[in-house]
Amino acid sequence: GEDVEQSLFLSVREGDSSVINCTYTDSSSTYLYWYKQEPGAGLQLLTYIFSNMDMKQDQRLTVLLNKKDKHLSLRIADTQTGDSAIYFCAERGFTGGGNKLTFGTGTQLKVEL
């Protein structure tokens, strides 16, 4: 079955880089996603990576994928206080006739001045 794991907390200083890590189990996953959730809000898609890629960069965000180790990371450059939120990684898998996302428990990022 699918299982996605993340560390629970990360604290960084404003201006530093943040790296949030995730491990997943479903080797058949084709897409892996990073979502951001602010207090009381829904999920905002930050970025995604296709399983045949090793890296994807999107402005301040860099996603690295190690498919052999089933390890995914999200690097946020020049972290700002507005980046404080919970970050979820998710793998896309199959269910019945369609697709579903399996989420990790989320990493709470706290950005300090």
Partner 1 sequence: ETGVTQSPTHLIKTRGQQVTLRCSSQSGHNTVSWYQQALGQGPQFIFQYYREEENGRGNFPPRFSGLQFPNYSSELNVNALELDDSALYLCASSLEQGATSDGYTFGSGTRLTVV
Spatial contact of 46 and 107, defined as CB atoms under 8 Å apart: no
Say whether residue 105 binds partner 1 (CB under 8 A): yes
In this complex, which beta carbon is closest to partner 1, that of residue 81 or of residue 95?
95
In this complex, which beta carbon is closest to partner 1, that of residue 14 or of residue 47?
47
Residues within window 36-65 making contact with partner 1, judged by CB under 8 A: 41-45, 48, 50
Say whether residue 106 binds partner 1 (CB under 8 A): yes
We find the least distance from the C-beta atom of residue 16 to partner 1, in angstroms, to be 26
Say whether residue 85 binds partner 1 (CB under 8 A): no
Main-chain dihedrals φ then ψ at residue 10, nearest 5 degrees: -150, 130
Spatial contact of 10 and 110, defined as CB atoms under 8 Å apart: yes
Spatial contact of 36 and 43, defined as CB atoms under 8 Å apart: yes
In this complex, which beta carbon is closest to partner 1, that of residue 35 or of residue 74?
35
Angle at 50 (CA atoms; ends 44, 51), nearest 5 degrees: 130
Q: 65-69 long-range CB contacts below 8 Å, 24 or more apart? A: 65/32, 67/27, 69/23
We find the least distance from the C-beta atom of residue 31 to partner 1, in angstroms, to be 7
The contact set with partner 1 (CB under 8 A) reads 4, 31, 33, 35, 41-45, 48, 50, 88, 90, 92, 94-106
